[in-house]
Amino acid sequence: MADTFETLTAVGALARFGEGSLSPETLIDDCLARIERDNPKVNAFTCVNDVEARRLAADSARRWQAGTPCGTLDGIPITIKDLTLTQGLPTRMGSTTTSADGPWGVDAPISRHLRNAGAIVIGKTTSPEFGWKGVTDNPLHGITRNPWNTELTPGGSSGGAGAAAALNLGLLHQGSDAGGSIRIPCSFTGTFGIKPTFGWVPQWPASAMSTLSHLGPMTRTAADSALMLSVMAQPDVRDGYSGNPLGPDWRTPPPADLRGWRIAFSADLGYVEVAPDIAQQVEEAVAHLEALGATVERVDPGFSDPIKTFNTLWFAGATQAIEKLNEQQQAALDPGFLDIARRGQDVSLSAYLAARRERSELTAQMAAFHKRYNLLVTPTMPIAPFAAGHNVPPSGRYKDWMDWTTFSYPFNLTQQPAASLPCGLDNQGLPVGLHLVAGKYQDLKVLHAAQLLERYLPPLTPPN
């Protein structure tokens, strides 16, 4: 048996804990050693919780030896995004405007749920400042890089989690997604991640981006994400938006095939320009859906680009995020973030309310669409990863990060479940993501289709 675990899944680790062929201590030691080796190349972590992780692993090992694991994830190494409160660990949100002193005395709901299940937090992962953009660099921690090519971005805002997941530096990773921030890095790093239906996973404190923001897992397999959701997606009374919903049985096994499913395949949503090599990989992946028995129809969902609606809500949220900062603190912000926050100051109440109305109309349109189709499938990203340290490809037509994330943000407006599944490599040898979208509350359709597709689309591992 190899003494490193670059491709071990959480489901596999738990099985080995149970049979006694692997100890949580061995797994944590290996994981921490690989973080020490690999993190300097990618800058995925804001802090590493090594001392406590080893102590907790020893406690977990004793429980497994006694046959009394404390919960669903006992002994599994996980990471938490730097936007999420984690007791005992700094949550700086990538910003020099936050205090290094803490105190760090409280867990967000998901941090608490994961720890209560026995998961071991090995560190916090990087994000752009306050999670504001689709790549990962910030004034506090610098640039995060893509394990497939460290000259390139892993995407964002959950870029640290994406890089860590690709290298298996921890087995389960928490991300957040208000415009694509789980799915963008999963596409760019060859990992799986799902933005579940809004409300299943509780959020506290509330995001400045309000009900655009979803919390979800980023993993190497869809089964691991389902496992993580079975713990994350529990009610918490502090969440003032979700109303304490109880979700499905996340670990329900997938069906044998997709016979009887109607799947809509839109190669470009009717308005997105997609790189030809990415389009080809997506086409090949869609053929596997037909091999699984689904009826696939080429059809666009029928809406025009909702960028203006999204930007109105996004810019207003950015304004809220900085309103308590003084002039000196604002001057220390990422200039791009400060720019959109100031643009948000110009959003009138009338424009904001119009955007909310447009959002509700789009939501109703997609609800009607999913009465006909179990899934909508598109590319996750229209372009390949580009140079790290830039918000848009250095040479190209894009002005803002939203201009190249055209497949992701519409489904934050509609609050639907949406996932990115690695489906192959482009002509540069870089990962390509397949975007799976289902109707609200139909998250299991996304997870089940992904698990079945993984039979044809094996996990991707970055080159050494």
Go through the chain and tell me how many residues it has. Answer: 464
Do 214 and 198 touch, CB atoms closer than 8 A? yes
| Residue 23: partners with Cβ closer than 8 Å, 6 or more residues away | 17, 57, 61, 64
Give the whole-angstrom CA distance, residue 381 versus residue 408. 8
| Residue 40: partners with Cβ closer than 8 Å, 6 or more residues away | none
Do 401 and 159 touch, CB atoms closer than 8 A? no
Do 307 and 413 touch, CB atoms closer than 8 A? no
Cite the active site residues.
81, 157, 181
**Full 3-state SS string of the chain:** CCCCCCCCCHHHHHHHHHHCCCCHHHHHHHHHHHHHHHHHHHCCEEEECHHHHHHHHHHHHHHHHHCCCCCCCCCCEEEEECCCCECCECCCCCCCCCCCCCCCCCCCHHHHHHHHCCCEEEEEECCCHHHCCCCCEECCCEECCECCECCECCCCCCHHHHHHHHHCCCCEEEEEECCCCCHHHHHHHCCEEEECCCCCCCCCCCCCCHHHCEEEEEECCHHHHHHHHHHHCCCCCCCCCCCCCCCCCCCCCCCCCCCCCEEEECCCCCCCCCCHHHHHHHHHHHHHHHHCCCEEEECCCCCCCCHHHHHHHHHHHHHHHHCCCCHHHHHCCCHHHHHHHHHHCCCCHHHHHHHHHHHHHHHHHHHHHHHHCCEEEEECCCCCCCECCCCCCCCCCCCCHHHHCCCCCHHHHCCCCEEEEEEEECCCCCEEEEEEECCCCCHHHHHHHHHHHCCCCCCCCCCC
> Phi, psi at residue 431, to the nearest 5°?
-65, 150
Instruction: Using the Cα atoms of residue 313, residue 315, residue 316 and residue 318 in order, give the sign of their dihedral.
Output: positive
- What's the number of CA atoms in the CB half-sphere (13 Å) around residue 364? 6
